[in-house]
Amino acid sequence: GAVVSQHPSWVICKSGTSVKIECRSLDFQATTMFWYRQFPKQSLMLMATSNEGSKATYEQGVEKDKFLINHASLTLSTLTVTSAHPEDSSFYICSATSGRAYGYTFGSGTRLTVV
């Protein structure tokens, strides 16, 4: 079955630094990848949608200059949290699809803690 690898699983960083999270589709080509944020005891909130080779589409209220998304290949998308603040601490999850009407595979998530 389709597998999506997300790395790192958890990261602790200092305020003001940047953190990069990788999302890789291991056995399929992901034409579209999605980035979500999930706060404790809440559901997944879509942050942005990225298509390979084009700029990401951000959801309302998500700062594109703070959350940089790059989808340079059909198997890799990265999310960089720039100038991180404690309020950016959250669980970030990516998902990928090969473009079917249904069929999304999720990564295992990245727990970001900004101290």
**Residues forming the site for other proteins (CB under 8 A):** 4, 6, 32, 34, 41-46, 49, 91, 93, 95, 97, 101-109, 111
Spatial distance between the Cα atoms of 4 and 45, rounded to a whole number of angstroms: 19
> Nearest distance from residue 23's CB to other proteins, in Å?
10
Nearer to other proteins by C-beta: 28 or 104?
104
Nearer to other proteins by C-beta: 16 or 103?
103
Nearer to other proteins by C-beta: 15 or 39?
39
Paired sense of beta strands 76-81 and 67-73, if any: antiparallel
- The burial class, CB within 10 Å (0-12 / 13-18 / 19+), for 49 is middle
